[in-house]
A and B are shown apart, each in its own frame.
Chain A
Amino acid sequence: MIRCEHLTYVYGRGTPFEATALTDVSLAISTGEVVGIIGATGSGKSTLVQHFNGLLRPTSGRVLLDDVDIHGPRVDRRRIRQQIGLLFQDPEQQLFEETVVADVAFGPRNLGLSDDDARARARRALELVGLPPDRFGPRSPFELSGGEMRRAAIAGVLAMEPRMLILDEPAAGLDPQGRRDILEHVRRLHRDGALTIVLITHSMDAVAQLCERLLVLDQGRLVADGPTRAVFADLSRLTALGLGLPQVTLLARRLGERGLPVRRDVLTIEEARVAILEALAVRGRGVL
Chain B
Amino acid sequence: MEFFRGLVLGQYVPVDSAIHRLDPRTKILATLLLLTVMFAVREFAGLAILTVLLVAVALAARIAPAYLLRGLRPLFWLLVFAVVLQVFFGEPGGHPMFRWGPVVVTRENLAQAAFYGWRLLLLVLSTTVMTLVTSPMEFTDGLERLLRPFQRVGVPAHDLAMMMTIALRFIPTLLEEAEKIMKAQMARGAEFTRGSLPTRARALTPLLVPLFVGAFRRADALAVAMEARCYRGGEHRTRMHVLRFGPQDLVAVTVVAAAAAFALIPPAAWRGH
Whole-angstrom CA separation of A216 from B64 in the bound complex: 37
Q: Is the CB of A55 within 8 A of B181?
A: no
- Indicate which residue in B2, B13, B184, B187 contacts A16 across the interface (CB closer than 8 Å): B13
Given A15-B5, A16-B13, do A94 and B191 touch, yes or no (CB 8 Å)?
no
Q: Is the CB of B189 within 8 A of A88?
A: no
Q: Is the interface of A mostly helix, strand, loop or mixed?
A: mixed
Q: Is the CB of B210 within 8 A of A94?
A: yes
Q: Is the CB of B187 within 8 A of A157?
A: yes
Given A78-B191, A110-B191, do A55 and B183 touch, yes or no (CB 8 Å)?
yes
| Total contacts A-B at CB 8 Å | 75
Q: Is the CB of B187 within 8 A of A93?
A: no
- Indicate which residue in B15, B184, B191 contacts A91 across the interface (CB closer than 8 Å): B184
Given A12-B2, A12-B5, A14-B66, do A53 and B187 touch, yes or no (CB 8 Å)?
yes
B185 at the interface (CB under 8 A from A): yes
A128 at the interface (CB under 8 A from B): no
Nearest B residue to A92, CB-CB:
B210
Q: Is the interface of B mostly helix, strand, loop or mixed?
A: helix
Residues of chain B within 8 A (CB-CB) of A111 are 189
Shortest distance between the CB of A28 and any CB in chain B (Å): 22
Chain B interface residue count, CB cutoff 8 Å, equals 28
Nearest A residue to B185, CB-CB:
A94
Given A12-B2, A14-B66, A110-B190, do A88 and B183 touch, yes or no (CB 8 Å)?
yes
Q: Is the CB of A11 within 8 A of B210?
A: no
Whole-angstrom CA separation of A157 from B177 in the bound complex: 19
Q: Is the CB of A96 within 8 A of B205?
A: yes
Residues of chain A within 8 A (CB-CB) of B206 are 94, 96, 106
Residues of A within 8 A of B (CB): 11-12, 14-16, 50, 53, 55-57, 78, 81-82, 85-88, 91, 93-96, 106-107, 110-111, 142, 156-157, 160
- 12 CB contacts below 8 A, A to B, read A15-B70, A16-B64, A55-B183, A55-B186, A55-B187, A56-B1, A91-B184, A93-B181, A94-B188, A106-B188, A106-B206, A157-B188
